[in-house]
Structure 1
Amino acid sequence: MCPKEGGLLEKQKYCVYNESRECFLSLNVNRADTTFARLKGMIGRLRLKYDEGLWMVPSSGVHTIGVLFPLDLIYLDENYRVIHLIEFFRTFRIAPLRTNAESVLQLPIHTIYSSQTQLGDQLLICPPEEMETRLSEETLYRNNRKERVG
């Protein structure tokens, strides 16, 4: 359910963080978790800003028929582990299906390259408020661990 503000429905935004590489992939991803939202996808958009994206849930593949710009695609399993990557997926194409994929991230081109995301990487996907809490807890855990070892 989307929260209401000012009488308009707002989509929940998500942050995507690569725990394996310790870097953000996006701070502004929409979740497409209804049949209509997955069907529409990126159709009708003229471009994708550098920090936007779409998280198709559930999904084992996507298409760019009617999409006007190329995308980077990251296929994830049920634990948000990267199981397949496609850089610079061109327009008017159908991406391969991966039966073991639970979701697919559609991100701006060069996101995979600039983040050095690879197969097997572990991603964290959650709302910004939760991301802040999780990352501060992780930092505290790592600092405590270093103190005990050193």
Structure 2
Amino acid sequence: MHWREATSFFGRLRGLLGRPRPGLGEAWWIAPCRAVHTAGMAYPIDVVFVGTMGQILRIVPALPPWRLAWCLRARAVIELAEGEAARLGWKVGDRVGRPG
């Protein structure tokens, strides 16, 4: 997995906005984060909410542009290309490692 991180306020606010669609095996780690928006996005994305111990709390597949998603228990969010979470076989309860 090729990780990119967004940990500053503006980096978290932007996420994938204005960037090309992520490729296979590419993911954005956004932390701290409990909610994402796709306002202004040109494509849907998979959104994975992650808890403090790296456990997947919620997966929102193919979140379309101009939508919101949240998980109040989340510590971080992973943004991926549409269908990537399923391709990786990720399920709620699985653990994912923090990049780096």
Q: Do the structures match in fold with TM over 0.5?
A: yes
Would you say the 8 A contact 2:29–2:99 is kept in 1? no
Aligned residue number for residue 114 of structure 1: 87
**Aligned-residue offset at 1:55:** 0.9
Q: Does structure 1 residue 56 correspond to structure 2 residue 30?
A: yes
Q: SS of the residue aligned with 2:68?
A: coil
The alignment's C-alpha RMSD in Å is 1.2
Measure, in 1, the Cα distance between the counterparts of 2:95 and 2:24. Answer: 22
Which position in structure 2 is the counterpart of 1:45? 19
| 2:48 match | 74
Larger radius of gyration: 1
Q: Is the 8 A contact 2:21 2:81 kept in 1?
A: no
Classify the secondary structure of the residue corresponding to 1:37: helix
1:96-135 aligned at under 5 Å gives the runs: 97-127=70-100
Please report how far the alpha carbon of residue 109 of structure 1 lies from its aligned counterpart in structure 2 after TM superposition: 1.3
Which sections of structure 1, spanning at least 5 residues, go unmatched?
1-26, 128-150
The percent identity for this pair of structures is 24
Q: What CA distance in whole angstroms lies between the structure 2 residues aligned with 1:43 and 1:122?
A: 26
Q: Which has the higher helix share?
A: 1
Q: How does 1:1-16 map to 2 (within 5 A)?
A: none
Compute the displacement of 1:102 (Å): 0.3
The runs of at least 4 aligned residues of structure 1 exceeding 4 Å deviation read none
- For residue 123 of structure 1, what is the amino acid of its counterpart? V
Structure 2 match to 1:141: none
Question: How much has 1:47 moved relative to structure 2?
Answer: 2.0
Q: Whole-Å Cα distance in 2 between the matches of residues 110 and 101 of structure 1?
A: 21
Q: Secondary structure at the match of 1:126?
A: coil
How far the C-alpha of 1:46 sits from its partner, in A, is: 3.2
Deviation, 1:65, is 0.4
For 1:125, what is the secondary structure of its paired residue? coil
One-letter identity of the residue aligned with 2:41: V
What whole-Å deviation, never above 9, does each CA across 1:1-59 have from its counterpart, x for those lacking one? Answer: xxxxxxxxxxxxxxxxxxxxxxxxxx212111000101111111132222222111000
